Structure 1
Amino acid sequence: MAKPNKKGPTKTVQIYCDKCRTILFKYRKGGKGALIKCFIERIVENYTNETCICPNCKGVFARETLIKGTPAYKMIGGKVMVK
């Protein structure tokens, strides 16, 4: 299977918890569609203390998985917001 582009996109977005509006990641996102998954290698800054758990409200916003053989977070619908 094809792996995601190593260099990755240059556009950076901020990902927030939808419940408490706490910033979770700065992420290099490609394309203009909805955020479905985050490849771990594309995360620029990680503001979480525990994996996939919001540091403020302790809500689970994603699940760890392998996508195309690369570690990623699969986002749970309606739990995150992108700006």
Structure 2
Amino acid sequence: MAKPNKKLPTKSVYIYCNNCKYKLFKYKKGGKGSLLKCFKERIVEDFTITPCMCPNCETIFARDTLVNGTPAFKIIGNKAYCK
């Protein structure tokens, strides 16, 4: 399986908690699809205190996993969105 490109995408998006609308990450997202996973190497700014947990409402919005050998956060369905 292929790993993500080393060159970061140019498009930056903010990822928000769907429950309380708190800003979680600034992320370099590639492609037009929905947000399914966040590779840790593409996170530019991290506004969370505990990984995978919203600091405002304490909702768990992702799982810490390996995707094709690369550390990533897999977003739980409808817990986070990007703008």
Please classify the TM superposition score into its range, dividing by the shorter chain length.
over 0.9
Find the residue that maps to 1:41 and give its secondary structure.
Answer: helix
Q: Deviation of residue 50 (structure 1)? A: 0.1
**Distance in 2 between the 1:64 and 1:44 partners?**
17
Corresponding residue number in structure 2 for 1:54: 54
Percent of aligned positions that are identical: 64
Identify the residue that residue 63 of structure 2 maps to in structure 1: 63
The equivalent of 2:81 in structure 1 is 81
Aligned-residue Cα RMSD (Å) equals 0.6
Unaligned segments of structure 1, at least 5 residues = none
SS in structure 1 at match of 2:63: strand
Q: TM-score with structure 2 length normalisation?
A: 0.98
Give me the whole-angstrom Cα distance separating, in 2, the residues matched to 1:27 and 1:72.
12
The separation in 2 between residues aligned to 1:33 and 1:4, in whole angstroms, is 15
CA deviation vs aligned residue, 1:49-75 (integer Å, no higher than 9, x gap): 001000000000000000010000000
- Count of residue pairs the alignment pairs up: 83
Q: Report the residue type matching 2:78 in the other structure.
A: G
Deviation at 1:2, TM superposition (A): 1.7
Alignment partners' CA distance in 2, 1:25 and 1:3 = 21
1:39 aligns with 2:39: yes
Corresponding position: 1:7 with 2:45: no
TM-score normalised by L of structure 1: 0.98
Q: Which amino acid aligns with 2:61?
A: F
Q: Which runs of 4+ in 1 moved over 2 A?
A: none
